[in-house]
A and B are shown apart, each in its own frame.
Chain A
Amino acid sequence: MELIYSLAIGVFFACGVWLLLRPRTFQVILGLALLSYATNLFIFAMGRLTLDRPPLIDPNVVADASLYDDPIPQALVLTAIVIGFATTALFLVMLIASRGFTGTDHVDGVEKGE
């Protein structure tokens, strides 16, 4: 599973970088979405991959960290997901506004050769 997981991060990241370098704003916004998936998965992986051990405490068992998946990366990723949503929304509006003001959806606000 670790191998698949790593490859998955790699594919998402590569596609994200590719889209990030494209000239159209919509491509960049999708690229950012893919990049944030990859990054969140990567951060989440810092707690290593564990099966069937969600960080929900069973009061009948003595609290021991080895019984649960590492909750700290999870908390960090949860924050990151929400903030990522906010920045995507902001970027989308910037994109629409830039399109309205400049008449183009090129990332630099001008078409090449103009």
Chain B
Amino acid sequence: MTLYLILILPFVGALGAALLRANARNVEAWLAGLVALSCAAILATFYPDMVAGRVVKVAVDWLPQYGLTFGLRLDGFAWMFAMMVTVIGALVVVYARYYMSPADPVPRFFSFLLAFMGSMLGVVLSGNLIQLVMFWELTSFTSFVLIAYWYHRTDARAGARMALTVTAAGGMCLLASVLMMGHIAGSYDLDQVIAAADAIRASELYPWILSLALLGAFTKSAQFPFHFWLPRAMAAPTPVSAYLHSATMVKAGVFLLARLWPVLSGTDLWFAIVCSAGLASLLVGAYAATFQRDMKGVLAYSTISHLGLITLLLGMNSTLALVAAVFHMLNHATFKASLFMAAGIVDHETGTRDLKRLGGLYHAMPITATLALVAAAAMAGVPLLNGFLSKEMFFAETIFAGEELWLRITLPATATLAGMFSVAYSARFIRQVFFGTAPGELPRTPHEPTRWMLLPSAMLVLACLLVGMLPGRTVGPVLDLATRAILSDGRVPKYSLAVWHGLNLPLLMSAAAFVGGLAIHAWLTRLGHPEGVLAPLFRRFDGKRAFTIVQIRMIRAAGALVRLLSSSRLQTQLALIIVAVIAAAMVATLGELNFDASTALTQIDPAFALLWLVGAACAVGAALQAKFHRLAALIMVGCAGLVTSLTFAWFSAPDLALTQVSVEVVTTVLLLLGLRWMPKRMPLELQNRDSVRARARRIRDATLAVVAGIGMAVLAYVVLTKPAGPGIRDFIVRNTLPGGGGHNIVNVILVDFRGFDTFGEITVLGIVALTIYKLLRRFRPAPEVVTNSADKRDPARELPDPRDPVPKGAMLVPAIIGRLLLPMAGVVSIFFLLRGHNAPGGGFVGGLVMATGFIAQYLVNGTLWVESRLRIHPQYWIGGGLLCAAGAGCLAWFASLPFMSAIVWEPKLPLLGKLHLSSVLVFDLGVYLLVVGTTTLMLIALAHQSLRSHRRAGETEDMTSVRMVR
């Protein structure tokens, strides 16, 4: 269980850190530091288990149906790595406390740093491969947000984007590889995958598995040719560079290679790919580092080079090389993190990291200089420091790695050459910054930083020294644990960690590297150090440029594809949709249409034929007139709606007919209100009507319309002439009375069988009404509609005065009648609501009738007059309706029934006799209230727009909003 704590603590800490105040640097640092140290302490308690060679495993089911568990697995190698992550993490936190300026928002920094620590521990401790990939991608993400910490800087954003693109793409490759491995092994569990190593290597998928896994590892560890993101990631704050981009995250790639070493290594393909990538990175990184101008740039390329060294060692298919690789992972983390910290200190105290401007800092900051000097010496591989030991092991391995003669010569030769450059850039780094004299004034006067800022660096340097001088007693046991854990079957080779191995070839190579490196340094200094971000000879191979070109091309290609397949024009989109629908319907039905009637057809009624003659005429008329005669078209569409409604009534659907009629009324009023806001059709547009393009488009649209219409007609006819399938109507009809307690089947379906559906529907109605209200409040009418004052001069069209008892003028008689209509409408609507369960009617119809009554008041009396006497508060109706419907649903809970079940209560009252009361009536009442509220809210909101045209904008805003909200 304690193992989970290691993973949980950082994430909980991240959450806590995010919630602190922006300037709480001390609290943040204490929190983060304590989290890191607690994780380290918990890890330490597992040390006896590790010594005993036990693997600690815990697991909970994650997705059991896919055989996935969320498991943690702690073995020696994971222990070593986790220890490295937490301890260096703690040191970086201390350092960051003093590095970050008070102006920086630290909660974000420490929160992401802790989240990164958690993700990295997740990668290290994962017991199954899918989980590992998940945490792997999390480290990519946290690295992204940390690089972009100063997101106001362009380079930070660009660097973060590039790092994320490269590493996350690599993570995708890794996922594919892991899926294939799991497929072959039959499980994603790490132990089982390792057990199935032979099967995986023998599989014909092996080349794919290997290359995809390597893509993941190489992108993460910034190996050539994917190394270009790392130098750009240096835009991150220096603690991040020290932690993520040298000590831990970039090590995830080589960690994975070591973890999968028993599974994937041992083949020629492994040797060929891993060694060449490692060798190339080793050489390119070391060479490029020699020519950097930025201190962090030198360290970034040097990191690439050292990771290349580790990769090369892992690629050699030798267990001894594996030991050296693991050893160098530790060593590199210590000296490189310490060097980054030194670079950060120099930057912090002088205001620049430019090697050309710096110089002579030894006198101003002797402690920093000494620490950096020792760390750089370890990087260069000076004896008595840890870098020397692993480098010696590396040199020794290069001699024996290859079998062919050319390999046995080129490998050691290249290694020595890379060693020379390594010495050269280390020497330059130290000499330029701390010795000689500065060429000019520095932005700030340098002085030694506070002791606490030096402490983390000092501890790391101390580690370099201790390991370098007493390797057997310090790092020996840990290294032993780690290698034993990787090579589970006891293949651990004999190796010696002694400082002095006698006068042998590796020592000679080291000596050659030193002499050569110093010579290169002297020579380049005399040349005045040719500089630039890219080293000479390598200007043409700019990874960043290639990346940018590929990126731009992909974006362009995507844009072209969108332009090819899509359009921003609505007409084109709709035409494409209709064409696609027609095509789909044709493919599905062609050749399978059968026009023979297999069921008795209904007798043709001339009245029905006449009805539809009118209907069709109205539809066609509306289609032709909609552009220039909107009112006529609107009337014809309303007529078509009435024909539809009559058709429903004709074919035994009274409920539909009622609903359609009342909706028709409301819709027509709505559209009439909208007509006012349409612009005048200009005769100018007539001129374009006869152009070839316009004509072609009209022909195209007409063809589409006719084809679609014929298709629908054919489809409808074919269906209508066949008997209906069984469906569920039998069940519904049989259960309506006994189960639903109503006679009107349609209503019972709506409020009982499908009550939840109806509840969702009325919610949508309410949302639409509120959306309309909000949209119209923000709306400003088109200017010419507002300034159009033609109707203002007409006294008959003056707004009714709210103080008059009845509106004066032409509307006097309708106003009286309309006022009498309101109570009638109320009675009719309640009648429809109450009888809905047993006869045609229901909440929808009732609500619409009531709303129509309200609207009639507005129409005949004018908005101001009505609102001075009647406040409708539609939003209360909406809210009340929803509460009512939901409450009716909840009532079922009191009877221990599921939500929305109907509850029936049949009391016998003295005078009225037996009553049938059901909770669905309450539900239907909710529907009723909501429909009234929705419809009135929409129509009133639209009606208020008319006021705006008569009054000044600001004034009306107040009027309407007060009336509507109160």
A residues at B contact (CB < 8 Å) = 1-24, 26-27, 29-31, 33-34, 37-38, 40-42, 44-59, 63-65, 67-72, 74-75, 77-79, 81-90, 92-97, 99-100, 103-105, 107-108
Beta-carbon contact of A55 and B745 below 8 Å? yes
Say yes or no for B620: interface residue by CB 8 A criterion.
Answer: yes
Partner of A81, one of B568, B633, B659, B708: B659
Say yes or no for B780: interface residue by CB 8 A criterion.
Answer: yes
Mark the stretch among B197-205, B371-379, B669-677 that contacts chain A: B669-677
Report Cα–Cα, A31/B634, bound state, in Å: 11
Report chain A residues within 8 Å CB of B732: 65, 71-72
Partner of A56, one of B724, B782, B840: B840
Mark the stretch among B125-133, B158-166, B714-722, B955-963 that contacts chain A: B714-722
Report Cα–Cα, A71/B721, bound state, in Å: 19
Total A-B pairs, Cβ < 8 A = 317
Report chain B residues within 8 Å CB of A38: 712
Report chain A residues within 8 Å CB of B724: 46-48, 70
Say yes or no for B564: interface residue by CB 8 A criterion.
Answer: no
Report chain B residues within 8 Å CB of A93: 771-772, 775-776, 938, 941-942
Report Cα–Cα, A97/B838, bound state, in Å: 43
Say yes or no for B906: interface residue by CB 8 A criterion.
Answer: no
Beta-carbon contact of B602 and A49 below 8 Å? yes
Closest 6 CB pairs of A and B: A14-B709, A10-B713, A6-B717, A18-B705, A55-B745, A71-B745
Partner of A55, one of B660, B663, B746: B746
Say yes or no for B883: interface residue by CB 8 A criterion.
Answer: no
- Which B residues, 506 to 562, have Cβ-Cβ distances below 8 Å to chain A? none
Question: What would 24 A/B residue contacts be, using CB atoms closer than 8 Å?
Answer: A2-B720, A5-B720, A11-B619, A14-B705, A14-B708, A18-B623, A21-B701, A21-B705, A30-B622, A44-B651, A44-B656, A47-B729, A53-B652, A55-B746, A59-B737, A70-B724, A70-B729, A74-B655, A74-B746, A78-B750, A82-B761, A92-B671, A96-B779, A97-B775
Say yes or no for B650: interface residue by CB 8 A criterion.
Answer: yes
B residues at A contact (CB < 8 Å) = 568-571, 574-575, 578, 597, 599, 601-605, 608-609, 612, 615-616, 619-620, 622-623, 626-627, 630, 633-634, 637, 640-641, 644, 647-648, 650-656, 659-660, 663, 666-667, 670-671, 674-675, 677-679, 701-702, 704-706, 708-710, 712-717, 719-721, 723-724, 727-730, 732-734, 736-737, 743-746, 749-750, 754, 757-758, 761, 764-765, 768-769, 771-772, 775-776, 778-782, 838-840, 844, 931, 934, 938, 941-942, 945
Beta-carbon contact of A17 and B761 below 8 Å? no
Report chain A residues within 8 Å CB of B728: 72
Residues A95 and B713 in contact in the complex (CB < 8 Å), given A40-B644, A63-B733, A78-B746: no
Beta-carbon contact of A11 and B709 below 8 Å? yes
Beta-carbon contact of B666 and A85 below 8 Å? yes
Besides the known contacts A69-B652, A78-B844, 12 further A-B residue pairs in the complex with CB atoms under 8 A apart: A5-B647, A9-B713, A17-B578, A22-B571, A30-B634, A30-B637, A57-B743, A71-B749, A77-B653, A81-B660, A92-B670, A99-B679
Partner of A6, one of B620, B720, B942: B720
Partner of A83, one of B569, B729, B764: B764
Partner of B729, one of A4, A71, A86: A71
Report Cα–Cα, A67/B652, bound state, in Å: 11
In chain A, what residue has the closest Cβ to B671?
A92
Report Cα–Cα, A27/B675, bound state, in Å: 12
Report chain A residues within 8 Å CB of B666: 85
Report Cα–Cα, A71/B764, bound state, in Å: 23
Beta-carbon contact of A11 and B768 below 8 Å? no
Report chain A residues within 8 Å CB of B637: 30, 33-34
Report chain A residues within 8 Å CB of B942: 92-93, 96
Report Cα–Cα, A2/B637, bound state, in Å: 23
Report chain B residues within 8 Å CB of A92: 670-671, 674, 942
Beta-carbon contact of A50 and B652 below 8 Å? yes
Beta-carbon contact of A103 and B782 below 8 Å? yes
Give the Cβ gap from A73 to chain B, nearest Cβ, in Å. Answer: 9
Residues A8 and B626 in contact in the complex (CB < 8 Å), given A2-B601, A55-B746, A97-B775: no
Beta-carbon contact of B736 and A57 below 8 Å? yes
Give the Cβ gap from B109 to chain A, nearest Cβ, in Å. Answer: 42
Report chain A residues within 8 Å CB of B775: 93-94, 97
Report Cα–Cα, A1/B607, bound state, in Å: 11
Beta-carbon contact of A26 and B626 below 8 Å? yes
Beta-carbon contact of A83 and B761 below 8 Å? yes
Report chain A residues within 8 Å CB of B781: 96, 100
Beta-carbon contact of B656 and A77 below 8 Å? yes
Beta-carbon contact of B571 and A23 below 8 Å? yes
Beta-carbon contact of B761 and A5 below 8 Å? no
Partner of A108, one of B570, B603, B715: B570
Beta-carbon contact of B716 and A42 below 8 Å? yes
Report Cα–Cα, A7/B776, bound state, in Å: 40
Report Cα–Cα, A93/B745, bound state, in Å: 35
Report chain A residues within 8 Å CB of B839: 56
In chain B, what residue has the closest Cβ to A10?
B713
Report chain B residues within 8 Å CB of A49: 602, 651, 720
Beta-carbon contact of A12 and B571 below 8 Å? no
Residues A13 and B709 in contact in the complex (CB < 8 Å), given A59-B743, A86-B765, A108-B569: yes
Residues A10 and B667 in contact in the complex (CB < 8 Å), given A72-B727, A108-B570: no
Beta-carbon contact of B713 and A6 below 8 Å? yes
In chain A, what residue has the closest Cβ to B927?
A82
Beta-carbon contact of B575 and A24 below 8 Å? no
Report chain B residues within 8 Å CB of A52: 652
Beta-carbon contact of A18 and B702 below 8 Å? yes
Beta-carbon contact of A29 and B677 below 8 Å? no
Give the Cβ gap from B423 to chain A, nearest Cβ, in Å. Answer: 67
Beta-carbon contact of B768 and A65 below 8 Å? no
In chain B, what residue has the closest Cβ to A11?
B616
Partner of B709, one of A17, A20, A56, A86: A17
In chain A, what residue has the closest Cβ to B713?
A10
- Interface centre among B647, B775, B838, by most chain A C-beta atoms within 10 angstroms, is B647
Beta-carbon contact of B656 and A81 below 8 Å? yes
In chain A, what residue has the closest Cβ to B760?
A79
Beta-carbon contact of B616 and A8 below 8 Å? yes
Report chain A residues within 8 Å CB of B705: 14-15, 17-18, 21
Report Cα–Cα, A18/B754, bound state, in Å: 35
Residues A15 and B623 in contact in the complex (CB < 8 Å), given A21-B571, A37-B640, A46-B724: yes
